[in-house]
């Protein structure tokens, strides 16, 4: 090897797919995240648990670059996202399913699912769009049946399915999911978590924030617990399921 040629360090591991490194986030005077570090590896499902106002949604918004940290870094595949906009990030394969689904109620179900392709759409033919729509809704027969219906007329559970299909149509590298079970009937919570389990089995990388640990800790490989914007616990899902503090605060229905 000649002097000056690049050396390859075989001991160096590939960077995590997504990493928050000691991130501080403020909303004006509100200090929402304090030195938060969290990582998601390829193929991993990571849960972020916490009570109301603990910083769960802010963690997702920070990963999506919807809010920019004042300190710390957010990395995708080792690259600092500070100069990257949210639309650019979506085009790089970071999808999200937001807290209140955020559908366009006056648009049809099919149009809402296709919004997932907003940043890639121009390059796709009509035929490709149709086939992507079919592909993304394979798991969602109820969504398919309702393609021409206005999204605002769907039930909460059906709207959640549309938001899930809208993320899937992007063929994302990672999906960031904010409280997928919020406001749903127990039957729909089962449906949503069965679908997320199927995604995990296919190797989909996910970060899921939840107030209720019950389902998310069954699904996740690892988890973080937030309190007042700080990570107070981190470990494998199995470790956290057997942690007394977590079981009393999150598995009994109460909130830490």
Chain residues in the site for ligand ATP (CB under 6 A):
27, 30, 32, 50, 52-58, 211
DSSP type of residue 22: E
Distance CA 94, CA 77 (A): 11
The one of ligand ATP, Mg ion, none whose footprint includes residue 172, by CB under 5 to 8 A per kind, is none
CA atoms of 56 and 61, how far apart (whole Å) = 9
Least CB distance from residue 56 to ligand ATP, whole Å?
A: 3
Which of ligand ATP, Mg ion, none does residue 54 bind (CB under 5 to 8 Å by kind)?
ligand ATP
Q: What are phi and psi of 242, to 5 degrees?
A: -100, 10
User: In whole angstroms, how close is the CB of 51 to Mg ion at the nearest point?
Assistant: 10
CA–CA gap between residue 81 and residue 18 (Å, rounded): 10
Write down the least CB distance from residue 216 to ligand ATP, Å.
13
Q: Which residue's CB is nearer to ligand ATP, number 1 or number 27?
A: 27
- The number of beta carbons lying within 10 Å of the beta carbon of residue 166 is 25
58 binds Mg ion (CB under 5 A): no
**If contact means CB under 5 to 8 A according to the sort of partner, which of Mg ion, ligand ATP, none does residue 160 touch?**
none
Closest to Mg ion by CB, 25 vs 117, is: 25
150 binds, among ligand ATP, Mg ion, none (CB under 5 to 8 A by kind): none
Q: Which is nearer to Mg ion, 44 or 179 (CB)?
A: 179
Residues that bind Mg ion (rule: CB under 5 A) add up to a total of: 2
- The entry of Mg ion, ligand ATP, none near residue 58 (CB within 5 to 8 angstroms by kind) is ligand ATP
Instruction: Convert 45-75 to b/e letters by CB count within 10 Å (16 or more is b).
Output: bbbbbbbeebbbbbbbbbbbbebebeebebb
Is 57 a binding residue for Mg ion by CB under 5 A? The answer is yes
Q: Where do we find the tokens 């004006």?
A: 28
Q: 155: Cβ–Cβ under 8 A, 6 or more apart, which residues?
A: none
**Cβ-contact 43, 203 below 8 angstroms:** yes
Which residues form the interface with Mg ion (CB under 5 A)? Answer: 56-57
């Amino acid at each position: 090897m000649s002097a000056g040629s690049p050396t390859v360090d075989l001991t160096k591991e590939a960077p995590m797919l997504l990493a928050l490194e000691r991130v501080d986030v403020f909303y004006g005077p509100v200090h929402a995240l304090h030195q938060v570090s969290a990582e998601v590896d390829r193929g991993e499902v990571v849960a972020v648990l916490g009570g109301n106002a603990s910083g769960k949604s802010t963690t997702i918004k920070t990963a999506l670059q919807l809010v920019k940290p004042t300190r710390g870094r957010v990395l995708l595949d080792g690259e600092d996202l500070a100069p990257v906009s949210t639309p650019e990030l979506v085009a790089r394969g970071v999808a999200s399913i937001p807290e209140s689904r955020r559908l366009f109620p006056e648009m049809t179900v099919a149009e809402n699912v296709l919004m997932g392709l907003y940043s890639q759409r121009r390059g796709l033919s009509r035929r490709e769009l149709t086939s992507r729509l079919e592909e993304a809704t394979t798991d969602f027969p109820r969504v398919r049946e309702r393609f021409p219906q206005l999204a605002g007329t769907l039930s909460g559970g059906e709207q959640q399915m549309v938001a899930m299909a809208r993320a899937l149509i992007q063929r994302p590298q990672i999906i960031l999911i904010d409280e997928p079970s919020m406001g749903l009937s127990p039957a729909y919570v089962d449906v949503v978590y069965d679908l997320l389990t199927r995604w995990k089995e296919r190797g989909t990388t996910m970060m899921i924030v939840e107030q209720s640990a019950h389902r998310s800790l069954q699904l996740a490989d690892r988890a973080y617990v937030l309190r007042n914007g700080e990570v107070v616990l981190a470990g494998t899902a199995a470790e956290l399921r057997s942690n007394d503090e977590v079981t009393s605060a999150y598995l009994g229905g109460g909130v830490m």
